[in-house]
């Protein structure tokens, strides 16, 4: 098993499962941060952050040992169970692939607006 994406920039690749290794930052461990109230992080966002954290904390650990991660695409972010192999297969689909190929590999359900985003 390779490293996790807690403190390093990782990138994901999709084959039959999702794996993350060193990369472009498209894969990040699920970790929400709290902040003091400010112009850019008001009470609504503080409340939402607490709710997100509670929802994420309620997810039990994966019995297969995968890490809960955010997979970032230019279409949005997906919550996924991710393995951390030493390397990704050469044929893995990554965040650098076009939207249609990535959406198919991840099994995304998209609306029209999401499929018209710029590339990662």
**What was the pLDDT predicted at 86?**
86
Mean pLDDT of all residues belonging to the chain: 89
pLDDT digits (tens, 9 = 90+) for 26-70: 999 998 999 999 999 999 999 999 999 999 999 999 999 999 999
Say what the pTM is: 0.85
In percent, the amount of the chain with pLDDT more than 70 equals 89
pLDDT at 112 over 50: yes
pLDDT value, residue 1: 46
- What is the pLDDT at residue 9? 85
Instruction: Give the domain ranges of the chain.
Output: 10-116
The C-alpha atoms of residue 80 and residue 17 are separated, in whole angstroms, by 10
Residue 115 has, within 13 A of its CA and on its CB side, a CA count of 10
Q: What tokens were used for 65?
A: 């040992």
Q: Which residues contact 50 (CB under 8 A, 6 or more apart)?
A: 34
């Amino acid at each position: 098993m390779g490293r996790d994406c807690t403190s390093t920039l990782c990138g994901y690749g999709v084959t039959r499962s999702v794996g993350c290794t060193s990369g472009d930052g498209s894969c990040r461990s699920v970790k929400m941060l709290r902040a003091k109230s400010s112009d850019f992080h008001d009470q609504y966002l503080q409340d939402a952050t607490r709710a997100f954290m509670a929802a994420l904390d309620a997810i039990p650990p994966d019995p297969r040992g995968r890490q809960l991660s955010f997979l970032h695409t230019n279409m949005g972010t997906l919550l996924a169970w991710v393995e951390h192999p030493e390397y990704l297969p050469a044929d893995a689909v990554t965040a650098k692939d076009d939207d249609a190929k990535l959406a198919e590999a991840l099994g995304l359900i998209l609306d029209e607006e999401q499929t018209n985003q710029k590339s990662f």
